[in-house]
Structure 1
Amino acid sequence: MILESNATIQIQKPVKEVFEGIVNPENMTKYFISESSGRLETGKEVIWKFPEFDDKFPVNEIKIDNNSSISFVWDPETVVKITLEKLPDNSTIVRVNENGKELNENNLKWALENSGGWANFLACMKAYLEYGIQLRKGAFDFMRIK
């Protein structure tokens, strides 16, 4: 059995704005990551840094379908796919799916944690894109306390 992590949200912005909110590091650093080596583009590799971790995370095998989907690998066992769906009111449904790990106790913990992580990603993106609020700012400082 293959495990997957899922999260979905509706954002009151057009698909094009939501897409740019994901692929453009100037936007992503306002609600998700602290640094990026570049824009998400098909075939490119970028490096992400999160404020709560010392490590840097390579993001590769990037595939982009403009204003429709973004997929990438940042964990060699999984693929992340983000799909965007335009609604009649010009808002966007954003779905995140990360899958690929075999069922075992450690991977079940991963699936639960990542589902929460992707829900947090979506909530932070919604707050930023709709209202300019940076929910992640200071939210995980406690993780750096030793």
Structure 2
Amino acid sequence: MIEEHKKMIMKKLSFDQFTKRIYIKANLKKLYWCWATEEGITAWFLHTSIYSRNGNKLKPYEFVEAGDNYTWKWHNWDGEENGHIIEANGIDKIVFSFAGECEVEVTLKKSDGATLLTLTQSKIPLDEDNKLKIHYGCSNGWTFWLANLKAFLEYGIHLNETEIDLRNKDLAGYEFVNM
């Protein structure tokens, strides 16, 4: 019986995807805004975000739609992430490309007096480099950023480092928990 349970768990855990969940005491509309608008996503997650549709930059308060593109830049990282919105229903689900060909799905559901946010990153390549950089790196990263979102919405604070420049510290992205 125990061995069967272990096998069931191992079938669900794999390097090609991971899921993170967090309860946040905020309404669905506010949480969706945090993901689907430039002003929302830069309030807790990014230094700079540009959402565009058909080559035209969206206004900071405009909600993204399927087919829109994005460029994201973080504090303490010189790179940028470019991708597109795969699905956005305007209420409780947004799916976007991320880290190359990966997909990130964010769903929101009222549950137990809060909103349950579920984030699943999938289509992770299975080579050793991507197991480390995408599965391990993104899994750790999303864990922090979801906690930061909760802190922002419930307490009005940010946990990420914005004052100390960590970019020239070796392995900063792997060692600092608030990058």
TM-score, normalisation: structure 2 = 0.72
Residue number in structure 2 paired with 1:78: 102
Which deviations, in whole Å up to 9, do the C-alpha atoms of 1:90-135 show, x marking residues without a partner? x210111111123232222121221111111100111111111011
Shift of residue 88 of structure 1?
A: 5.0
CA distance in 1, matches of 2:97, 2:36: 14
Percent identity at matched positions? 26
Relative contact order, higher structure (CA 8 A, sep 6+): 1
Show the counterpart of 1:35.
48
Contact 1:40/1:46 (8 A) holds in 2: no
Give the partner amino acid of 2:151.
A
State how many pairs are aligned.
145
Greater fraction strand = 1
Q: Which residue of 2 aligns with 1:68?
A: 92
Under a length normalisation based on structure 1, what TM-score does the superposition of the two structures give?
Answer: 0.87
Of 79-88 and 131-140, the range deviating more from structure 2: 131-140
Deviations 1:40-76 (A, max 9, x none): 3221112111122222221214310222211011233
Return the letter of the residue paired with 2:69: E
Query: Which consecutive residues of structure 2, in runs of 5 or more, have no partner in the other structure?
Result: 1-13, 52-62, 171-179
Q: Is the 8 A contact 2:34 2:43 kept in 1?
A: no
Q: Which has the larger radius of gyration?
A: 2
Residues in 2 aligned to 1:84 and 1:45: alpha-carbon distance in whole angstroms: 22
Maintained 8 Å contact 2:64/2:85: no
The two structures, once aligned, show a CA RMSD in angstroms of 2.1
Indicate the residue corresponding to 1:99 in structure 2: 122
SS of residue in 1 equivalent to 2:16: strand
Equivalent of 1:23, from 11, 36, 40?
A: 36
Contact 2:25 2:115 in 1 (8 A): yes
Q: Which runs of 5+ in 1 are unaligned?
A: none
* Structure 2 counterpart of 1:114, one-letter code: C
